[in-house]
Amino acid sequence: MHACLSVCLSVCLSVCIFYCSQLPCYSGIRKLGEKSARYTQQNTVELQCRYIKIRTAIIIVDKIDKDKDGFVTEEELKSWIEYVQKRYIVQDTERMWADHQITNNAMTWESYKNRTYGFADDDDFSSSYKEMIERDQRRWKAADRNGDGQLSKDEFMDFLHPEEVEHMRDIVVDETIEDIDKDKDGYISLEEYIADIYEEDDEDGDEDDVGDHDKDHKDGEPDWVRSEREQFISTRDKNKDGRLDKGEVRQWIIPEDYNYVEAEATHLLHASDEDEDGKLSKQEILDKSDVFVGSQATEFGEALVRHDEF
């Protein structure tokens, strides 16, 4: 044997023996196997996520890019958001309409009430149910534009989504005040305002924390709650009487100078427009696909699930 080959074989053998001695026992090998299976699984999920993201970018650009120049502009984003929102409202109305008893293309109050609250004499309902029924009935009357006591499908759409139409907005304001106005004086005080948002976002759900809204405890409040407090005083309470009346609540929840669709389109554009040319390429949308998939206003995530539409 050539000396060189012999040295080479001997080195190979030593390396082999060394690595064999380092090999894990059987259970170790099994664990390695499980680990690798997990890795493969994780890898598959990552690959799938990547696939979904690429698919999202392509779908988004193709569906929103009306003039087919390969870029998405702010105007194209706005019309897409409007379209998706409108589609949601129409589909939701269709679903609910199909779930109720319809006679001569209309729904009666009685059939809505029975379907929603069950069959019972009015006196048999608990007081909280009675309140809900009265509230629904008031909303029903506001939605019943021709005043015939029944709702057509269009009227029912306004009943289900009152925030979308001007003639229902007083109802939205009234319902908001009723939800927050705990002492029932018809106004939202600073403490009622804070109790509403703080309770809602209270992560541990500990009811004792509600007591933290007392003035005595406000030093311990998180920064965002304190800034809401300041916002109430400086912006929301226009006439500075320490409470919000109907007009002030309306300004707060349905601000005239705020266009939700425009704001969302601007947000999506600014969050993704890397080269700042005012429009989004497929690559820019791909790089920020999380922003798009997570956008509730655009329902991109949901649109992907219903990919048969594309």
DSSP 165: S
For 60, 138, 205, 206, 236, the CA distances from 307, given in Å and listed in that order, are 12, 39, 37, 41, 42
- Binding status of residue 237 toward Ca ion by CB under 5 A: yes
Sole binder of Ca ion in the list 104, 128, 146, 296 (CB under 5 A): 146
Q: How far apart are CA 271 and CA 191, in angstroms?
A: 35
Closer CB to Ca ion, residue 85 or residue 181?
A: 181
Ranked by CB distance to Ca ion, the top (closest) residue is: 181
Interface stretch with Ca ion, choices 23-31, 47-55, 241-249, 289-297 (CB under 5 A): 241-249
Interface stretch with Ca ion, choices 81-89, 111-119, 231-239, 287-295 (CB under 5 A): 231-239
Sole binder of Ca ion in the list 144, 196, 212, 228 (CB under 5 A): 144
Chain Cα centroid distance, residue 129: 28
Phi, psi of 95 (to 5 degrees): -60, -45
- Binding status of residue 264 toward Ca ion by CB under 5 A: no
The strand pairing partners of 37, in sequence order, are none
Place of tokens 């509600």: 210
Place of tokens 């939700």: 260
Interface stretch with Ca ion, choices 29-37, 118-126, 157-165, 179-187 (CB under 5 A): 179-187
- Binding status of residue 158 toward Ca ion by CB under 5 A: no
CB of 8 to Ca ion, least distance (A): 58
Closer CB to Ca ion, residue 97 or residue 129?
A: 97
Q: How far apart are CA 243 and CA 249, in angstroms?
A: 10
Continuous segment of H or E residues that includes residue 147: none
Q: Among residue numbers 268 through 307, which ones bind Ca ion (CB under 5 A)?
A: 273, 275, 277
Q: How far apart are CA 23 and CA 11, in angstroms?
A: 19
* Binding interface with Ca ion (CB under 5 A): 144, 146, 148, 155, 181, 183, 185, 187, 189, 237, 239, 241, 248, 273, 275, 277
